[in-house]
A and B are shown apart, each in its own frame.
Chain A
Amino acid sequence: MEGARRLLREGPKVINVGVFEFFEELRAQGVEATHVDFKPPSASSDLLAKIRKLKGKV
């Protein structure tokens, strides 16, 4: 559980993926944080993943 212990010992340093407001709230509390500008995979890459799965390559 070392990774989890480190989190409790050091306090959160956060990568926020999704709702931007959560990132702002973290910054407002003085938490070290960065935000990922997430975009869902495009339909074409979804399709490729499905094709790969069908071919048993994943």
Chain B
Amino acid sequence: MQRIAVERGTYFDSVTLMLISREIGAMEGVEQVALNMATEANLRIMASAGFDLSGLELGESDLVIAVKGKEEVLDRAISRAKELLKSPPGRRSDSASYFPKSVDGALALLPGANLALISVAGQYAADVARACLDLGLNVMLYSDNVPLSAEVELKRIAGEKGLLVMGPDCGTAVIRGKGLGFANAYPLGPVGLVAAAGTGLQEVGVQMARRGVGLIHAIGTGGRDVKEEVGGSTFSMGVKLLLEDPEVEVLALVGKPPSPSVEGSILDLASSSGKPVVVGFVGGRRREDAFPLYFCSDLEEVAAVSSALAKGLDPNEAREELRSRREEVLRMAQARSRRGYLRGLFSGGTLCYEAQLLASSILGPIRSNAPLDKAYKLADSLRSEGHCMVDYGEDEFTQGRLHPMMDSSYRAQRLVVEAQDPEVSVILFDCVLGYGAHENPASQMAEAVQRARGICGDRVLFVSYVCGLEGDPQVASRQRRILEEAGVVLLESNAEAAIFAAACARG
């Protein structure tokens, strides 16, 4: 049974809606609950979760409360949700702090502020960012769904004022060792990063930390920055800033391949450097190293080479170690192989992209909602075909909804659905930790794995990688243990996990 209620002309942020969903979901007799702003994407996701929304006339400023479960609890659940909307559960109840209603007000409270971290819904984000630039603040724009024309305009204004605009869709950055948005507890160190790839930045930072090397700054740009239309405006500024910074000894550049003209201007800038620059445009053309430039094919290689250079070691030895380790991973896969389809469910966009790149070299083309090649775009992101990998951080899944790093519940539901497909033999997923991320993402996914096992038994192999550090709020070793106890095979990097999963599915 289901019950649907609609609150018209309202607005609630995604965190509030998630907290209320959790509370309603915990009521006895409630099987499924969804509280979402009625964007087209959310309505599709709710329909695919089995809610019947037919006959409802909905607009984007309407909130839909949908509950499934035993008949006798449904009305009570809806009433409780409405009560909680009037008095949202206490994120701030323990704090008597006053929070200003405007950026001007905040600047009066913190006159030395030098950065605005903006994560409001996409339709409001550009206006807020413009106001912050006018006040002389650098901007980190976490929000996605910001129009391209607004991004170009904001970056033009910032360039004139000598300010940084990181984003839109910039999920992570590190300034003087402090994480902004999603970031791990990296040690402070001599490497500087510029990244047009959020989880790419996280993965490089985590893999360097595993090798005992830290970060001082990591400037995020947002993925669109390196496209022709934006011209690499933030990326170029980031490179200039870190090249002139005496505390940065090694510079690493990370992202998907920029447009050719943007890549050309970035490499021209980097070539003039007196310090090593590690170039990791994942999926781009492989080139020979020529000091100061060191070219890498994947995120772990960027981390291995940057770490070696920071320690004064030979980067080619680091590459050789990586090669041997990957051969070992392929041998490990032989022992677990089972022919069938590989399905990947990712919270990190760059991790999904890198996994497609590495897995396709073993399995052939991989379909995705964010494919390497447009020819392999999924017709429907909610329906898998063949070998496929879905990025749940894409805009289509995050309108009026939390990023999957903050709430993996939809991804977890999908994992159970994928396990029911008799042609699937391996399911791969990431588990990204750090500041800003869900407090226990491994449990969300481990519960889904256990439910899936109840359906598919041992037919499907579950493979994952925990992108995180011991110092992260979730504690990497605890998260790993939760997944291992659920029978998930864990690898040491996103690249390894993709290679292992693909080799297992090849049979």
Contact = CB atoms under 8 A, between A and B. Distances in A.
Interface of A: 1-8, 10-22, 25-26, 28-41, 43
A13 B178 CA distance: 10
Contacts of B217: 8
B58 interface: no
Contact of A13 (B112, B119, B435): B112
A34 B110 contact: yes
A19 B176 contact: no
Contacts of A25: 179, 435-436, 473
B162 interface: yes
A33 B137 CA distance: 13
A6 B136 CA distance: 11
Contacts, number: 152
A10 B137 CA distance: 13
B102 A36 contact: yes
A38 B143 CA distance: 14
Interface string B167-188: 0000000011111110000000
A34 B473 CA distance: 21
B61 interface: yes
B175 A18 contact: no
Contacts of A8: 175-176, 217, 241, 245
Contacts of B101: 36-39
B11 interface: yes
A20 B163 CA distance: 24
B115 A13 contact: yes
B92 interface: yes
7 contacts: A12-B178, A13-B112, A13-B115, A18-B13, A18-B119, A22-B180, A31-B178
Given A15-B106, A25-B179, A34-B99, A7 B114 contact: yes
Nearest to B101: A37
Interface in B118-136: 118-121, 123-124, 128, 132, 136
A56 B102 CA distance: 26
B106 A20 contact: no
Contacts of B9: 43
B161 interface: yes
B479 interface: no
Given A12-B114, A14-B115, A17-B103, A40 B164 contact: no
Given A11-B176, A16-B117, 13 more contacts: A4-B164, A6-B114, A7-B114, A8-B217, A12-B115, A12-B176, A13-B110, A14-B115, A18-B120, A18-B143, A35-B99, A35-B106, A36-B105
Contacts of A14: 113, 115-117, 180
A2 B158 CA distance: 11
Contacts of B110: 13, 15, 32-34
B243 to A, nearest CB: 12
A37 B175 contact: no
B15 interface: yes
B142 interface: yes
Contact of A17 (B120, B175, B179, B237): B120
B109 interface: yes
A32 to B, nearest CB: 6
Interface in B1-47: 9, 11, 13-15
Contacts of B107: 15
Contacts of A16: 116-117, 119
Nearest to A19: B119
Contacts of B179: 25, 29
B17 to A, nearest CB: 12
- Residue among B143, B161, B176 having the largest count of chain A Cβ atoms under 10 Å: B176
B108 to A, nearest CB: 9
B162 A18 contact: no
A25 B436 CA distance: 6
B374 interface: no
B403 to A, nearest CB: 9
A28 to B, nearest CB: 7
B284 interface: no
Contacts of B97: 35
A27 to B, nearest CB: 10
B211 interface: no
Contacts of A6: 114
A51 to B, nearest CB: 17
Contact of A40 (B15, B124, B176): B124
B285 interface: no
